[in-house]
Chain A
Amino acid sequence: MPKIAFWQGNMGIAMGAIAAGCRFFGGYPITPSTEIAEAMAEELPRLGGKFIQMEDEIAGIAAAIGASIAGVKSMTATSGPGFSLKQENLGLAYMAEIPLVVVDVMRGGPSTGLPTKISQQDVMQARWGSHGDHGTIAYAPSSVQECYEITVEAFNMAERFRQPVLIMNDEVLGHMREKVIVPEDDSLVLVDRKRPTVSPDEFVPYRADEQDDIPPMAGMGDGYRWHVTGLTHNDWGFPTNNAAEIEKKMLRLMRKIDRFRDDIVKYDTESVKDADVLVLSYGSVARTALSAVRMARKKGIKVGHFRPVTLWPFPDKELETIASRVKTILVPELNCGQMVLEVERVVGKERVVRQNLVNGELFKPAEILSKIEEVA
């Protein structure tokens, strides 16, 4: 029997991680994400897992990557300033292809900004925050139920693609409590990283399989010896300055995500079939925007809603199909205009209307409704 729970979003993420098989958490306290660390500190030892509060955000992600290298599914969670601090080691996990889930519960920025207030100011940082090119998988849940489910999926994607996966939660959803239907553990589909099938003597640690561009990964201590490095490396994990080897590695890092983009992309729509106006929003804003869309529908305005669940990869071709039928696309965001740049990339600037709020508050439905009325 599925269980009914009443959780806040941060708890949904922690419990989703446990259900996904996460058995290591390295972290550091920071508002508004601390509840995730606290829940993991309580739950993991009961399951024989390990939680460690490290000396800073940098060490928190380092420990989580270390545990994953040792073969344990692991996670770290943070918020704005901590997300900035984690970018360096996040890059190492991209380069060395280490599965990991990183949660950013977004608060207002820049700098210390608004520790207890919502924003969506980190969504471009999720894509471009760590230096150098790499594919990105980043989710934006918009209900506590989704916090739970997306976290399970994030672990599955991290394991499948051997790279960090980001969950871009926000302060309101992180702290909001609502009903969650918790599936039974055995009903969940869980993915584990591909392990080597060859003997330790034949193991070439970064030789990718042709069918998916992903190299099998041995856990340290499992009988295989291999070298992890943040330096650009060849199939042996050996640092290289050879142009052909560099290009091979870099293009594979991008390609392993690009070619399976359709398996990763997730989005949601409502009332889009006959819509003249399309509202595109994500995270907590999507909840407000959907209320506004429903209110506008009652007033006879033909308006629909498009919600990217994966911010990265962005559901561009799906948006393009739907947007081709509408006159105006309204993009309400709690930043000065970030995901709207992706929308404009897909549909052009002419039909796109921005609605931005950076005062630490969430939009009220009436505010989005009046904007819908204005542009309809």
Chain B
Amino acid sequence: MPREEVMKWLRARFFPHIWCPGCGHGVIMHALLRSLTALDKKPEETVIASGIGCSSRMPGYINACTVHTTHGRSLGFATGIKLAKPELTVIDVMGDGDCTAIGGNHFIHACRRNIGITAIVMNNNIYGMTGGQASPTTPPGAKATTAPYGAIDPPFDICNLAAGAGATYVARATIAQPAMCEQYIKKGIQHKGFSVIEIVTHCHTQFGRKNKRSSPVDNLNFFKQASVAKAKADQMSPEELVGKIITGEFVNKDIPEYTEQYDKLIAKVRG
């Protein structure tokens, strides 16, 4: 059972949740709530935004200021909220399709702008809610309802994408490492600027049953076996890294945060 201070963040009225038994999203939500309580955040000063998909239902279950928006667009809404009230803690939870397909443009521009929002991208390599269609992170060869003979599209590496677009804190963990998830989410929230935490999770219902990982345990074991810490990965060849999930921090740098820059601009204009 989660700790009592974590339970206080739950919106019991909205339960039971829609996630399948054994879904990894609960691990991520728990890590997020542990991070928020550890950082002494107040729910009434914490905004959690999301788009559309299984992962995007998370805000509904959290008793904070929650905004469940349109598919892929949540970073636009979150940007408006953060800019209007920079004192709020703003977190945006997204899935892989939400963030990197329909929301790809919003994602790279939020990275570029370096606005103080923490993006948590729950990457399960599939569109789960709509029944298992290929996403921009479906591994080559993996099967999906819209890739019945195996995906041939090269996938995105979400962390590389975020780093390339200018995000100033970028990290990856898998749900097999809940303490690491919490650690990176905490650092992301504390970071001044746009932070991206990719958490590799599973959809055993839609991805797993077509790709020989049909139980939650299969997936946890896969994550444990496939994960390589960044320090070790740096010593490995590209061939050795095929099929591996590199975990760790990829970017952590200080660049002026957007809403602080905006306040300076206002001060300058107003003399």
- Interface residues in chain A, defined as those with a beta carbon under 8 Å from any beta carbon in chain B: 24, 26, 45-46, 48, 50, 52, 54-56, 58-72, 74, 88-89, 92, 200, 219-221, 223-231, 236, 238-239
CB contacts (< 8 Å) of B81 on chain A: these are 66-67, 69-70, 220
> Would you give the shortest CB distance from A91 to chain B, in whole angstroms?
8
Given contacts A46-B269, A46-B270, A92-B70, contact A52 B83 (CB under 8 A): yes
Residue among A59, A92, A230, A236 making CB contact with B79, cutoff 8 Å: A59
> Would you give the shortest CB distance from B229 to chain A, in whole angstroms?
34
Given contacts A46-B269, A225-B43, contact A58 B65 (CB under 8 A): no
> Would you give the shortest CB distance from A205 to chain B, in whole angstroms?
11
> Would you give the shortest CB distance from B54 to chain A, in whole angstroms?
13
In the complex, the answer to whether A55 meets B80 with C-beta atoms within 8 Å is no
24 contacts between A and B (CB under 8 A): A46-B269, A46-B270, A50-B83, A52-B80, A55-B105, A56-B105, A58-B76, A62-B79, A63-B77, A63-B79, A63-B83, A66-B81, A67-B83, A70-B84, A70-B88, A92-B70, A221-B45, A221-B47, A225-B44, A225-B65, A227-B11, A228-B67, A230-B68, A239-B60
Number of A-B residue pairs with CB-CB distance less than 8 Å in the complex they form: 145
Q: Which of A46, A65, A239 has the most CB of B within 10 A?
A: A65
| A50–B259 CA distance with the chains assembled, in angstroms | 10
Indicate if B253 sits at the interface (CB-CB under 8 A). Answer: no
Q: Which of B59, B73, B76, B106 has the most CB of A within 10 A?
A: B76
Q: Which of A48, A58, A61 has the most CB of B within 10 A?
A: A58
CB contacts (< 8 Å) of B3 on chain A: these are none
> Would you give the shortest CB distance from A336 to chain B, in whole angstroms?
31
Q: Which of A24, A228, A236 has the most CB of B within 10 A?
A: A228
In the complex, the answer to whether A66 meets B80 with C-beta atoms within 8 Å is yes
> Would you give the shortest CB distance from B161 to chain A, in whole angstroms?
15
| A238–B18 CA distance with the chains assembled, in angstroms | 13
| A68–B83 CA distance with the chains assembled, in angstroms | 11
> Would you give the shortest CB distance from B51 to chain A, in whole angstroms?
10
In the complex, the answer to whether A55 meets B109 with C-beta atoms within 8 Å is yes
In the complex, the answer to whether A55 meets B68 with C-beta atoms within 8 Å is no
| A50–B263 CA distance with the chains assembled, in angstroms | 9
| A200–B85 CA distance with the chains assembled, in angstroms | 19
Given contacts A63-B79, A63-B80, A221-B85, contact A50 B262 (CB under 8 A): yes
Starting from the known contacts A62-B77, A65-B77, A227-B67, 6 additional A-B residue pairs (CB-CB under 8 Å) come to A52-B80, A55-B109, A56-B105, A224-B44, A227-B59, A236-B14
| A219–B78 CA distance with the chains assembled, in angstroms | 14
Report the 7 A-B pairs with minimum CB-CB distance, sorted nearest first.
A66-B80, A62-B76, A63-B80, A59-B76, A55-B109, A70-B84, A67-B84
Interface of A, helix, strand, loop or mixed by DSSP: mixed
Indicate if B242 sits at the interface (CB-CB under 8 A). Answer: no
> Closest residue of chain A to B18, judged by CB?
A239
> Closest residue of chain B to A231, judged by CB?
B68
Given contacts A46-B270, A63-B83, A227-B11, contact A220 B109 (CB under 8 A): no
> Closest residue of chain B to A70, judged by CB?
B84
Given contacts A220-B85, A225-B43, contact A69 B109 (CB under 8 A): no
CB contacts (< 8 Å) of A55 on chain B: these are 105-106, 108-109
> Would you give the shortest CB distance from B43 to chain A, in whole angstroms?
6
Interface of B, helix, strand, loop or mixed by DSSP: helix
CB contacts (< 8 Å) of B13 on chain A: these are 236, 238
> Would you give the shortest CB distance from B262 to chain A, in whole angstroms?
6
- Interface residues in chain B, defined as those with a beta carbon under 8 Å from any beta carbon in chain A: 11, 13-14, 43-45, 47, 49, 59-60, 63-70, 73, 75-85, 87-88, 105-106, 108-109, 262, 265-266, 269-270
| A130–B108 CA distance with the chains assembled, in angstroms | 27
In the complex, the answer to whether B80 meets A238 with C-beta atoms within 8 Å is no
> Would you give the shortest CB distance from B18 to chain A, in whole angstroms?
9
CB contacts (< 8 Å) of B265 on chain A: these are 45
| A121–B167 CA distance with the chains assembled, in angstroms | 41
| A45–B43 CA distance with the chains assembled, in angstroms | 30
> Closest residue of chain B to A226, judged by CB?
B65
Residue among A24, A48, A64, A220 making CB contact with B47, cutoff 8 Å: A220
In the complex, the answer to whether B11 meets A54 with C-beta atoms within 8 Å is no
| A33–B85 CA distance with the chains assembled, in angstroms | 27
CB contacts (< 8 Å) of B77 on chain A: these are 62-63, 65-66, 69
> Would you give the shortest CB distance from A55 to chain B, in whole angstroms?
4
Residue among B43, B60, B73, B108 making CB contact with A62, cutoff 8 Å: B73
Given contacts A46-B269, A221-B85, contact A66 B79 (CB under 8 A): yes
| A223–B47 CA distance with the chains assembled, in angstroms | 12
CB contacts (< 8 Å) of A71 on chain B: these are 84-85
CB contacts (< 8 Å) of A70 on chain B: these are 80-81, 84-85, 88
> Would you give the shortest CB distance from B68 to chain A, in whole angstroms?
4
Given contacts A24-B83, A220-B88, contact A66 B266 (CB under 8 A): no
> Would you give the shortest CB distance from B35 to chain A, in whole angstroms?
18
